[in-house]
Amino acid sequence: MLRRTLISAGAIAVVAALLVLIPLGLARDPRPAACLDDPSTFPEAGVEGWSGEQLDNAATIIRTASALGYGRDGQILGVMTAMGESSLVNIDYGDWETRGFTNPDGSRTTSIGLFQQQEWWGSVEERMDPATAATRFYERLGRLPDWQQLEPSHAIHRVQINTDRDYYARFEADAAAVVDALSGACAAGPA
């Protein structure tokens, strides 16, 4: 009798879990991820001066962040970072070539890609792949237990180790506009 009661209770728990989880799974809208793959859904006039390849790269960052479980705030941080590091253009050169900057130990910087990641972030191919570079950024951001409580620029600074912790603040409004516009384009469907 006890065994039958335990089995019945277990069956009821499984059915109850399915009744809750299945609708939640069905409630997810698959459009946003697919929409971010389709530049024809992006605002034709661009967003706050960002357009074309820049919006494609922002969409990759947003899509990657979303797949890793980051919501709007995390997505904005990723886009802010790439705006500040590369103007959302996947470049194969960095601070050494443009400004002669060196690492604190005096060695030449090796930064490339959207996030201007140096060689310790991964291979050249990994750092030049926008999705992989974004994944590496979010992996490091995720190791900061308090990133949500920090000023966005300060959280980015802790990941990127920039010389000025307030450097990225100037990109926050644009990044929010881009994230919201691309997400809104997905919700609205193709233009």
Please tell me the predicted confidence (pLDDT) of residue 97.
54
Please tell me the predicted confidence (pLDDT) of residue 101.
63
108 beta partners: 102
Please tell me the predicted confidence (pLDDT) of residue 54.
96
How many CA within 13 A on the CB side of residue 39?
A: 12
User: Does an H or E element contain 7, and which?
Assistant: helix 2-27
How many CA within 13 A on the CB side of residue 188?
A: 12
Q: Does residue 12 carry a pLDDT above 70?
A: no
Q: Does residue 16 carry a pLDDT above 60?
A: no
Q: What angle do CA 61, 33, 149 make, to 5 degrees?
A: 50
**pLDDT, tens digit, for every residue of 32-72?**
455 666 666 677 767 989 999 999 999 999 999 999 999 99
Query: pTM value?
Result: 0.75
Distance CA 49, CA 90 (A): 17
Domain 36-188 in this protein, CATH class: mainly alpha
> Residue 23 — very low, low, confident or very high, per pLDDT cuts 50/70/90?
very low
Distance CA 191, CA 183 (A): 13
**pLDDT, tens digit, for every residue of 87-127?**
999 998 766 555 556 656 666 667 889 999 988 889 989 99
Q: 99 or 14: whose pLDDT is higher?
A: 99
Please tell me the predicted confidence (pLDDT) of residue 26.
31
**pLDDT, tens digit, for every residue of 132-189?**
999 999 999 999 999 999 999 999 999 998 789 999 999 999 999 999 999 876 655 5
Taken in order 117, 73, 28, 36, the sign of the CA dihedral is: negative
